[in-house]
Amino acid sequence: MNAVFIVDSMLGNVSKWLRILGYETLFFKTPSDETLLKLSQESNRILLTSDKELFKKAKSMNINTIFINPNLSLKEKLIKVFKESNLQPQLNSTRCTVCGSELNKIEIKDLEELLFTSDFWVCNKCGKLYWRGSHWKNIMKMYNELCEKLST
C-alpha cells in the first residue's frame, strides 16, 4: 500500500483530503508541467490533474495519471481518485494537512483529562498538533460517504 499521489495546483482541496484519508500527497502551488511530470516519473507517483493537456502528456510518457474533471464536487473527485487507483480511504494513517508528513501519537495525560477526551497527534515535520475535535465529525461524514459509494 505504497501508492502516493502528486496533484496539480487546481486540486489543493483534494490533496488536503487525501492526506486526511491516509495518503501521502505532494502539492505545489505553482508547479510547472515539467516539474509535475518529472516528479511523478521519478517517484512513481500517481499524477492527479484537471489539466487535459498535462493528462495527455503524462499518458504519452507512461505515467500513472488520473484526469479529474474540474466540474465535479469534492466528494465526486475523491471517489474518482479512490476508484481509479483501487485504494480505500483510511482513517488510521492520517497525514499532516499542512505539509503531508506522518503524525505521531502523543500522550498528554493531564491536559487530555482536563480539556478533552481525545487522542493527540503531532506532525513529525512541521509540529502541527491534531486532535479529534469538532472537525472530526466532518471527516467521519466524508469517510463514511466515500466508503458507502466505493462499496457499491
Q: Give residues in contact with Zn ion (CB under 5 A).
A: 96, 98-99, 101, 123, 125-126, 128
Cα→Cα distances 98→3, 37, 118, 125, 126, Å: 20, 23, 21, 10, 8
Of 70 and 127, nearer to Zn ion (C-beta) is: 127
Q: How far is the CB of 101 from Zn ion (least distance, A)?
A: 5
Q: How far is the CB of 129 from Zn ion (least distance, A)?
A: 10
Question: How far apart are alpha carbons 105 and 93 in whole angstroms?
Answer: 11
Of 87 and 96, nearer to Zn ion (C-beta) is: 96
Torsion of CA 138, 144, 147, 148, to 10 degrees: -130
Q: How far is the CB of 137 from Zn ion (least distance, A)?
A: 22
Of 21 and 66, nearer to Zn ion (C-beta) is: 21
